[in-house]
């Protein structure tokens, strides 16, 4: 909301101030903003009364005005919508005021592929749910089995074939896995690779990270930071590909990139 400040820098303005006349320029806010504040005030008073008065609470809860007319779920691509609907656990016609939003959020976040959920009561009669899904950039096989890897770490979510994702190997610590995931995320963001085009992401404690494409090209990236290295790779890659199949690319150098094309 905007705020207009009073100015008394001119003689007219000072005269008006001394005479007790209101400077029209000093009006704070607008009619619309005032009405909005009044609306919020009454909404707050009403909700407070609803919470404090059992009789009023029951009357409002029974009112058709607050009956749920719909549930909007936003952000779903991988998760099963039927499973989410079961986790929501409400039906059209129930009172939106009686809905336990926190319990609903917890149930939704237990659905396969759902990473986080935000549940909003949109008065008078709607519930809006915004979800963030796991977006894996690879898989890892360890003592816990096969797991997907998000850009910010490992997750146990399993729900589709893993053979189309890069396999993370030679990683002994969680930090190494997270760095490898960050590398893949940067490569994907810059559209240098796709999930399907990368076969393996490997880690060497001294040399850093290297990816191997399904065509056999090795791209040695080294250690973090990855952003500038990948930006340089994106610039030179079209020219390198124009010269034929690539055997390897070395990015872990300060002032140059080494590209070796396969012999014709």
Query: What are 109-133's pLDDT values in tens digits?
Result: 999 899 999 999 988 889 999 999 9
Share of the chain above pLDDT 70, in %: 75
Is pLDDT above 60 for 58? no
Contacts of 188 (CB under 8 A, 6+ apart): 137, 194, 195
Q: What is the mean pLDDT of the chain?
A: 81
Please report the pLDDT score of residue 128 as a whole number: 94
Which run of H or of E encompasses 63?
Answer: none
pLDDT tens track for 98-113: 889 999 999 999 998 9
Share of the chain above pLDDT 90, in %: 51
Confidence of residue 45 (pLDDT cuts 50, 70, 90): low
Please report the pLDDT score of residue 145 as a whole number: 81
Query: Token match 């014709």: residue?
Result: 264
Confidence of residue 47 (pLDDT cuts 50, 70, 90): low
Is pLDDT above 60 for 55? no
Confidence of residue 198 (pLDDT cuts 50, 70, 90): very high
More reliable by pLDDT, 200 or 143: 200
- Mean pLDDT, to the nearest integer, of 219-230? 93
pTM, 2 dp: 0.67
- Mean pLDDT, to the nearest integer, of 243-251? 92
221 φ, ψ (degrees, to nearest 5)? -100, -30
Distance from the Cα of residue 144 to its chain's centroid? 27
More reliable by pLDDT, 49 or 47: 47
Contact between 111 and 80 under an 8 Å Cβ cutoff? The reply is yes
Is pLDDT above 60 for 12? no
Helices (H), 65-217: 81-88, 101-109, 174-189
């Amino acid at each position: 909301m905007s705020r207009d400040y009073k100015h008394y820098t001119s003689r007219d303005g000072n005269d008006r101030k001394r005479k007790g006349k209101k400077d029209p320029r000093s009006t704070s806010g607008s009619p619309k903003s005032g009405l909005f504040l009044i609306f919020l005030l009454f909404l707050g008073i009403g909700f407070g009364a609803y919470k404090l008065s059992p009789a009023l609470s029951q009357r409002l809860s029974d009112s058709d005005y607050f009956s749920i007319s719909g549930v909007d779920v936003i952000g779903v691509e991988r998760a099963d919508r039927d499973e989410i609907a079961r986790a929501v656990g409400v039906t059209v016609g129930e009172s939106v005021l009686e809905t336990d939003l926190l319990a609903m959020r917890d149930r939704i976040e237990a659905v396969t592929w759902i990473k986080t959920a935000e549940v909003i009561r949109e008065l008078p009669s709607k519930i809006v749910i915004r979800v963030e899904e796991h977006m894996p950039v690879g898989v890892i096989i360890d003592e816990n089995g096969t797991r997907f890897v998000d850009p910010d770490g490992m997750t146990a979510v399993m729900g589709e074939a893993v053979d189309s994702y890069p396999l993370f190997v030679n990683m002994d610590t969680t930090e190494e896995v997270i760095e490898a995931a960050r590398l893949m995320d940067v490569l994907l963001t810059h559209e240098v690779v796709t999930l399907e085009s990368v076969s393996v992401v490997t880690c060497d404690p001294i040399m850093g990270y290297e990816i191997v494409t399904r065509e056999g090209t090795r791209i040695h990236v080294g250690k973090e930071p990855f952003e500038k290295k990948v930006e340089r790779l994106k610039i030179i890659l079209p020219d390198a590909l124009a010269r034929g199949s690539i055997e390897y690319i070395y990015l872990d150098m300060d002032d140059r990139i080494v590209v070796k094309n396969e012999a014709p």
